[in-house]
Amino acid sequence: MQEPKKALGIIPARYASTRFPGKPLVDIAGKTMIQRVYEQAAQADSLGLVVVATDDERIADHVRAFGGAVQLTRSDHPSGTDRCAEVASRYHHFSVVVNIQGDEPFLDPRQIDLVAAPLFSRRRPSFYAGYRNPGYPYRTKPQYGKGSF
C-alpha cells in the first residue's frame, strides 16, 4: 500500500506587529499563542511537518524550547504568505504547502485536513488556502500560482 501524501504546514509568526507587538508570545492559559497553534496543527493527519516561519529570535528560541521546528526568514517580507514561500522553497520534497495562520490558537486540525485534501487530488479547487510548492522538483512550470488566502 502506498504511503499517504503529506503536506508541509507553515505558520508565519511575526513579533513586530503594529497592532499587537509580540502577539505570538502572548500567554493563553499557560501556553503561548504560537505553541497552541503549533500543537493544534501538528495533530492534522495531512501534515508531514509543521514549521514556524519567523524573522525574530525570541519566537525562534521559544519554538525550539517547546520542541517545535522553526526556520528564520528575512525581515523584509510584506506578508505572512511571503514568509511561507521563503520557507517552502527550502523543503523541495513537499509538493503541497498549507499556510496556517499564527493567531488561531484553537484551530481544529480537521480544518487543515479539509483544506489539504483537494490539493493532492487531480481535481483542483478554484480557491484554496494552500498552494503547490513552486520549489518542488517535479514541477516544470507554475500552473496554479502561489495560492489565494
Beta pairing partners, 70:
52
Close Cβ partners of 80 (under 8 Å, ≥ 6 residues apart):
12, 14, 53, 99, 101, 102
Q: Judge whether 141 lies within some domain.
A: no
pTM value?
Answer: 0.81
Residue 62: give the domain boundaries.
7-132
In whole angstroms, give the CA distance from residue 73 to residue 77.
Answer: 9
Q: Centre a 10 Å sphere on the Cβ of residue 82 and count the other Cβ atoms it contains.
A: 15
Q: Judge whether 66 lies within some domain.
A: yes
In whole angstroms, give the CA distance from residue 27 to residue 95.
Answer: 34
- pLDDT tens-digit series, residues 88-118: 999 988 888 899 999 999 999 999 998 888 8
The average pLDDT across 43-64 equals: 97
The average pLDDT across 107-130 equals: 73
**Total tally of structural domains belonging to the chain:** 1
Q: Judge whether 83 lies within some domain.
A: yes
Q: Judge whether 145 lies within some domain.
A: no
- As a whole number, the mean pLDDT across the chain is 83
Q: Judge whether 139 lies within some domain.
A: no
Q: Judge whether 31 lies within some domain.
A: yes
- pLDDT tens-digit series, residues 5-25: 799 999 999 998 888 899 999
Task: Please report, for the domain that includes residue 53, its CATH number.
Answer: 3.90.550.10
